[in-house]
Chains A and B, each alone.
Chain A
Amino acid sequence: KAGVTQTPRYLIKTRGQQVTLSCSPISGHRSVSWYQQTPGQGLQFLFEYFSETQRNKGNFPGRFSGRQFSNSRSEMNVSTLELGDSALYLCASSRGGADYTIYFGEGSWLTVV
């Protein structure tokens, strides 16, 4: 059974550019959530999607957005990149509902220069 797959694994972007990260959840999982991990702020919740609907969003500016497709795959987008957006972005999936077993992908390393 394939795990949570994130692409790309590593990327370098320039300030002001935008970036799109992709996440394929475990088959059968309908909930996808995103987290940002930085040395200073630790792990922070970005947003959660279930059946193509964003159900909640963390305390991040509007430059951070996401979406979920009908096959449960999800993308997150960061526009107008800032140096402080450099981080490990982690995607997690679960069946949703009453199932609280949450699995994480290996993450996408974003460096903004």
Chain B
Amino acid sequence: AQTVTQSQPEMSVQEAETVTLSCTYDTSESNYYLFWYKQPPSRQMILVIRQEAYKQQNATENRFSVNFQKAAKSFSLKISDSQLGDTAMYFCAFMKGGGGADGLTFGKGTHLIIQP
């Protein structure tokens, strides 16, 4: 079974600062995918970024980038030039490869607060 750990229950930064959210995972699988999801107060889960384990290059999506350290089983999310709209719960998630049948395993989440 896989586990995902987010060690920061809550973080608070000033607008325009850069913030890094931590995530570690444990798995014996070699084929897997990692995700960061954002859940604002509306509770809709929004995909922020996805990383394929077989790709060495870190994924980026505009202001969002990841630091994927496969050997260390670490998958942190960096948000640059943070904005008030980035305030939300952020969940790190793992999915085993093989078609998605096993669903996502989520961490407990990090509540990110962007202060004006």
Residues of A that sit less than 8 Å from B by CB: 31, 33, 35, 37, 42-48, 50, 55-56, 58, 88, 90, 92, 94, 96-98, 100-107
Q: Are A48 and B50 in contact (CB under 8 A)?
A: no
Q: Are B100 and A45 in contact (CB under 8 A)?
A: no
Residues of B within 8 A of A56 (CB): 101-103
Q: Are B47 and A101 in contact (CB under 8 A)?
A: yes
Chain A interface main SS type: strand
Residues of A within 8 A of B99 (CB): 31, 50, 55, 96-98
Q: CA A103 – CA B35 in complex, angstroms?
A: 12
Which of chain A's residues has its CB closest to B35's CB? Answer: A102
Q: Are A94 and B103 in contact (CB under 8 A)?
A: no
Q: Are A100 and B103 in contact (CB under 8 A)?
A: no
Quick one: given A102-B35, A106-B42, A107-B44, are A43 and B106 in contact (CB under 8 Å)?
A: yes
Please tell me which one of the listed residues A43, A100, A104 contacts residue B33 in the complex, with CB atoms under 8 A apart.
Answer: A100
Closest 7 CB pairs of A and B: A45-B103, A104-B45, A55-B101, A43-B106, A56-B101, A100-B33, A106-B44
14 sampled A-B residue pairs with Cβ under 8 A: A33-B103, A42-B106, A42-B109, A43-B106, A45-B102, A48-B103, A50-B100, A50-B101, A94-B100, A98-B99, A100-B50, A101-B47, A106-B43, A106-B44
Chain B interface main SS type: loop
Quick one: given A42-B109, A43-B91, are A104 and B101 in contact (CB under 8 Å)?
A: no
Residues of B within 8 A of A50 (CB): 99-101
Instruction: For residue A9, give the distance in angstroms from its CB to the closest CB of chain B.
Output: 10
Please tell me which one of the listed residues A42, A58, A101, A104 contacts residue B44 in the complex, with CB atoms under 8 A apart.
Answer: A104
Q: CA A89 – CA B91 in complex, angstroms?
A: 16
Please tell me which one of the listed residues A45, A90, A103, A104 contacts residue B105 in the complex, with CB atoms under 8 A apart.
Answer: A45
5 other contacts beyond A45-B104, A90-B45, with CB at 8 A cut-off? Answer: A43-B104, A50-B100, A55-B99, A56-B101, A102-B104
Please tell me which one of the listed residues B43, B52, B100, B108 contacts residue A33 in the complex, with CB atoms under 8 A apart.
Answer: B100
Instruction: For residue B50, give the distance in angstroms from its CB to the closest CB of chain A.
Output: 7
Interface positions, chain B 1-60, Cβ under 8 Å from A, are: 33, 35, 37, 42-47, 50, 52
